[in-house]
């Protein structure tokens, strides 16, 4: 059995990254596909395109934030973590 107790000590952004990494490991190792799956599930759950919202935010604020940085700056990381737990069937859940 694997001990995932380290997870609770990570920052929210690190937790999200860890969830995406775990999903990628379980599904062929493609990290980019796991981020796209998060975006697909976000749209299904929240009814909006996460990539479009990030693009609009970057355009309006003249920034070039990555998806995790965008989620942090708009206080949406916790929502993404929830989806990440769904993607990994709660394996890293406390």
pLDDT tens string 15-54: 999 999 999 999 988 999 999 999 999 999 999 999 999 9
Per-residue pLDDT of 72-88, as tens digits, reads 999 999 999 999 999 99
CA of 55: how far to CAs of 11, 49, 67, in Å?
A: 24, 10, 10
Per-residue pLDDT at 2 exceeds 70: no
What's the pTM value of the predicted model, to 2 decimals? 0.89
Contacts of residue 4, defined as CB under 8 A and 6 or more positions apart, other chains included, come to: 91, 92
pLDDT of residue 11: 94
The whole-chain average pLDDT of the chain stands at 92
């Amino acid at each position: 059995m694997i001990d995932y107790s380290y997870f609770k000590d990570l920052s929210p952004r690190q937790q999200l990254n860890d969830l995406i990494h775990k999903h990628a490991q379980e599904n062929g190792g493609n990290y980019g596909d796991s981020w796209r799956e998060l975006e697909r599930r976000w749209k299904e759950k929240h009814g909006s395109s996460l990539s479009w919202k990030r693009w609009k935010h970057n355009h309006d604020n003249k920034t070039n934030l990555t998806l995790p940085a965008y989620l942090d700056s708009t206080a949406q990381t916790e929502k993404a973590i929830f989806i990440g737990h769904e993607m990994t069937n709660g394996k890293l859940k406390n």
